[in-house]
Structure 1
């Protein structure tokens, strides 16, 4: 029996999807022609109709199924990138719009229905004559959350997951440095535009994006923030209101928002894909650690990508990684798997490295902050030096330049203009006499006081070349406890954790640390009053002082990482799945 007989009204995929499919380069040869059945109605857990499209190989035989549940519609780019491409390679692809999105019934919610509706989708699959009982999931960003939600109580048919630049914790998305911490303003606004308009077509999405862009400066400058954002959307957005008003992850509103616990007890083989400048980088690495500790079969790919570019210019590598994992676990074909569990792209050297695990073996190296020579990083802590101070004024907040964002001006950027500001301190090493490879978690250990008790500290690692161009590598932000105000018993010891990285500083380059009071509008400014960000109406400047010894802590790579270029490494004749070793189980 051929797959086409299961859908009497089966047709070709939409023309727009077929045209876009032809523009995707670096894809493997097509194995099958593709059939398409659109607008199937699948009941959600509460009976709401969820619109679903089915792509399938026009060929006789049994094929495994891929479930892709999306709050961003079922059209471009999911139709060509998932529906057509994977059906061509021998998979049924079921692409479903989440409740209240893309024409599906019910009310949209960021997380409340995803686990139950995912199980309802699997129950529907069990009734289909073409379903073989072999199931995988895949998808990026919020489509990653739908996978983690299903994995909280995985159905027995679920054999593999591929989470691409994915989120598992919605509170962690809005407050990436935890609680207490600043609201991730710009990425939250951009993601809300996608959530509200992605499934309405390209024109509607473009118009909404332009409206937000026109209003972004006003949103960033006006108070209170809970009112300032409204013109950018033409109305209120309930989940933004709730996220801004409820920063505490223990608030009842966030119950169920973190599906990451699935990784701590997971048994479903899971491939994780991210980029060093992906807004979901930290969540992905957290999940990798949880899966490894649980003894779960897993792999990790980290490219030189942002959240968006991973699915654009990084798509050939992402697709190959995804296809290899799914064939290995759904089709018993391990020929597309790597020899090692981890592959990372190393900035500076611009090369791929294969590693046995993440993070690799590294030695902590401390560079102490010294006010001499215009701000230096030295191997020895200065003695008897006065504290180093700067004034942060929320009425003229320190701007954000590049970094982990969803907008286009993201990733590595020239920091020259930022570093010329009086509210940004910089500390720089002499030119390196030999390359310095940094692979792992980066942090700065500070001894801090403030004059008001209300402040954030933003820290950034940069690579300065021979021409003096300073390019950001990784960064992090930390909200200070009010006890750091004058009158407290001495400086507070504060660690600002930056996102991990894999970067090689070339000989002749310099390592630079920036310290400032924020990165706006990437993060909502600290108003200096302690009031909730959604309702604060006053702005109070703060003086932040760094006391000695304070230090930048870098993970200097160990011998395991040397000379392993994954792009050129010869592949062995026999591939092995990434099964956990006996000691991992």
Structure 2
């Protein structure tokens, strides 16, 4: 099949065969201005943009993938090209929000549907083919007469992961990559045996399975309750049928293949990161599902002698701030490199300090000047940097048939994610809280957070969930970061070392620092049935009595990176 763009040599013009003018709302009208406001962008160079649909791109195995090309209606040929590869389609408001602002401000944009999605040939097996297909797409792109001499890779989540899949073998035309809320080993952290995250991979699998239906976004909203209920299904390997009415191979795979299983090797690109030589500017969020892996990628680049940039905002995965910062970085950092210029000067790391509600520059992640400080759990719900006294353990009853719910935090969907009031959660009998007195000075915490909880259960199989909260003067408790660890010998007293999400938080004078301890955050994390059965086929739920110790021999503590004074 011939590429309709091959015959186009003159400047880009919307009247040519194969080019469609944008609908009026996007062609310089209210839609363009609305996106400009939403993304906090300056005025465009043009609001007259056209799109060329369904460009065929042949893969080495003969499969044909389809792409759309967006560019200014006049003089688009030869402009730097932003490449976006996506499994979510080439139409609709999200792609318009990603492509149109770039095409209005100095780029032409190629948006390709990945294998087996939205008209592209082949079968969509998540993560498996992105390296080979991505490299072939780049070879095709740089050979187009309209491509110009510079390419930038950009996009978030899966659209960012596909950048890492090829980033160590880029053609010289690629001048920069902008990975947004993503990581080089997408989803693997969810599938850890010691902290299996159910909600994100399950909801993603349900979404992808139904995304090409008519009115898919509306259907997903209407099916929200059904999808939530499906996660209670036993055994879990029937949850996909409960949500979709049919089986999903991806959901089946994620239930039976753990993070270290060779099944996922095609999507694990961590070993490639150190070999990436083009400039990298990453966008992350404190409540994003991929934050730890994304920080690991940044540190791997630094360890290899690169000079990557990193921006971390107060965002969850789908927050509007993520879209805005992605556009900003693509236009400032990416476009500058594409033109052979230096991007605006700034610190290597720019992070948002919650509580202070202000941006801060740093030379590295984690930033220097912060030391681990142990906040010990004490009897009567106290939290203190002092050593705990002799005391009896605290206890609670955990019942997986009525699991401790997830409230805010690291969630896939924006409505449920981020900073939330934890009052109702902390009133549950299966949640313990430990709180400092009102602080007599500000306490600034930036970096990696861990907890060491001395724990015992009436069952061998149990989970320990720990959450850090900021309690204001009115008593409102707001979640900052959290994490979970699954134990397999919990009937013996065990020191559970729980990795919480990294954070940047200023606890103001007069506020209090609080720690929650429980045994779940469902459905973010799969509920522990207490039986040791495989997660996919477990059918029995057993309640457990849990104990948390805080005495000199078993000093449970939260370890915070506190700024030196």
Q: How high is the TM-score relative to the length of structure 1?
A: 0.88
Are 2:318 and 1:305 aligned?
A: no
Q: Distance in 1 between matches of 2:228 and 2:324?
A: 36
Pick from 497, 502, 510 the counterpart of residue 495 of structure 1.
497
Q: Structure 1: 5+ residue runs without aligned partners?
A: 560-585
Give distance in 2, aligned partners of 1:252 and 1:401: 33
Name the residue aligned to 1:227.
238
How many Å separate the matches in 1 of 2:212 and 2:106? 27
Partner Cα separation in structure 2 for residue 128 and residue 217 of structure 1: 46
Q: For structure 2, list consecutive stretches of 5 or more residues without a partner in the other structure.
A: 1-8
Would the aligned equivalents of 2:201 and 2:254 in 1 still touch at CA under 8 Å?
no
Displacement of 1:2? 4.3
1:318 aligns with 2:326: yes
2:200 to 178, 187, 199: 187
| Other structure's SS at 1:554 match | strand
Classify the secondary structure of the residue corresponding to 1:256.
helix
User: Which segment is superposed worse, 405-414 or 383-392?
Assistant: 383-392
| Structure-1 residue corresponding to 2:346 | 339
C-alpha displacement of 1:285: 1.2
Take 1:221 and 1:126, find their aligned partners in 2: how far apart are those partners? Answer: 49
Quote the residue 2:43 is aligned against: 29
> How much has 1:8 moved relative to structure 2?
4.0
Q: Would the aligned equivalents of 1:342 and 1:355 in 2 still touch at CA under 8 Å?
A: yes
User: Partner of 1:460: helix, strand, or coil?
Assistant: strand
1-side partners of 2:120 and 2:148: how far apart? 26
Distance 1:391 1:162 in 2: 46
Would the aligned equivalents of 1:346 and 1:352 in 2 still touch at CA under 8 Å? Answer: yes
In structure 1, how many angstroms separate the alpha carbons of the residues matched to 2:476 and 2:325?
30
CA contact (8 A) 2:375 2:384 kept: yes
User: Which whole-Å CA distance do the structure 1 matches of 2:158 and 2:398 have between them?
Assistant: 35
Task: Give the secondary-structure state (helix, strand or coil) at the position aligned to 1:475.
Answer: strand
Give the CA deviation at 1:417: 1.0
Question: Given the alignment, which residue of 386, 389, 399 partners 1:380?
Answer: 386
- Residue number in structure 2 paired with 1:542: 544
1:238 aligns with 2:249: yes
> How far, CA to CA, are the matches of 1:230 and 1:347 in structure 2?
41
Question: Displacement of 1:73 after TM fit?
Answer: 0.3
Please say if 1:555 is aligned against 2:564. no
- Aligned residue number for residue 160 of structure 2: 144
Match of 2:3 in 1: none
Q: Distance in 1 between matches of 2:515 and 2:121?
A: 50
Distance 1:173-1:382 versus aligned 2 partners, 3 A rule: closer
Q: Could you report, residue by residue, the CA deviation over 1:434-486 in whole angstroms, capped at 9, with x for unpaired residues?
A: 1111101111112222221101111000000111110000000111132x324
CA contact (8 A) 1:67 1:136 kept: yes
Partner of 1:351: 358
Query: 1:84 & 1:384 partners in 2: Cα distance?
Result: 64
CA contact (8 A) 1:170 1:257 kept: yes
Contact 1:17/1:79 (<8 A) preserved: no
Cα distance in 2 for partners of 1:199, 1:74 equals 11
Report the CA distance shift for 1:319/1:238 in structure 2 as closer, same or farther (over 3 A): same
Report how far residue 233 of structure 1 moved. 1.4
What's the secondary structure of 2:377's corresponding residue?
Answer: strand
- Label 1:15 to 1:49 Cα distance change in 2 as closer, same or farther (>3 A): farther
Classify the secondary structure of the residue corresponding to 1:105.
coil
Does residue 161 of structure 1 match 2:172? no
Considering only aligned residues, what root-mean-square deviation do their CA atoms show, in Å?
2.0
Shifted more, 11-20 versus 159-168: the winner is: 11-20
Which secondary structure does the structure 2 equivalent of 1:122 belong to?
Answer: helix
Q: Distance in 2 between matches of 1:126 and 1:221?
A: 49
Counterpart of 1:504 in structure 2 is 506
1:264 CA displacement: 2.5
- Compute the displacement of 1:221 (Å): 2.9
Secondary structure of 1:418 counterpart: helix
Structure-to-structure mapping, 1:260-271, within 5 angstroms:
260-271=270-281
2:454 counterpart SS class: strand
The residue matched to 2:416 in structure 1 has which SS? coil
Residue 45 of structure 1 corresponds to 60
Number of positions where the alignment pairs a residue of Structure 1 with one of Structure 2: 543
**How far off is 1:296 after superposition?**
1.8
Q: 1:235 to 1:400 in 2, by over 3 A?
A: same
**1:174 Cα deviation after fit:** 3.1
1:434 aligns with 2:444: no
Q: Does 1:250 align with 2:263?
A: no
Following superposition, the deviation at residue 167 of structure 1 comes to 3.7
Deviation at 1:268, TM superposition (A): 2.0
Deviation at 1:323, TM superposition (A): 1.2
Give the match's secondary structure for 2:159: helix
Secondary structure at 2:481 match in 1: strand
User: Secondary structure of 2:452's partner?
Assistant: strand
Per the alignment, in what secondary structure is the counterpart of residue 295 of structure 2?
Answer: helix
Match of 1:259 among 264, 269, 274: 269
Distance 1:67 1:493, change over 3 A: same
How much does 1:173 deviate? 4.9
1:534: Cα distance to partner?
1.3
1:446-457 equivalence runs, <5 A? 446-457=453-464
CA shift digits 1:199-241 (9 cap, x unpaired): 556x222213422x23245323331111133221121111001
- Residues 269-284 of structure 1: pairs in structure 2 closer than 5 A: 269-284=279-294
Any idea what SS the aligned residue of 1:269 has? coil
What CA distance in whole angstroms lies between the structure 2 residues aligned with 1:329 and 1:341?
16
Q: CA 1:359–1:143 in 2, change beyond 3 Å: closer, same or farther?
A: same
Give matches, 1:69-218, under 5 Å: 69-175=85-191, 178-182=192-196, 184-198=197-211, 200=213, 203-211=215-223, 213-218=224-229
- Cα contact 1:414–1:472 (8 A) shared by 2: yes
Q: What does the per-residue CA deviation read over 1:483-536, in whole Å, with 9 as the maximum and x for residues that have no partner?
A: x324xxxx3222101001111011100000000001011111000011111100
CA deviation string 1:163-197 (max 9, x = no partner): 1112432342532xx33322x22222322243234
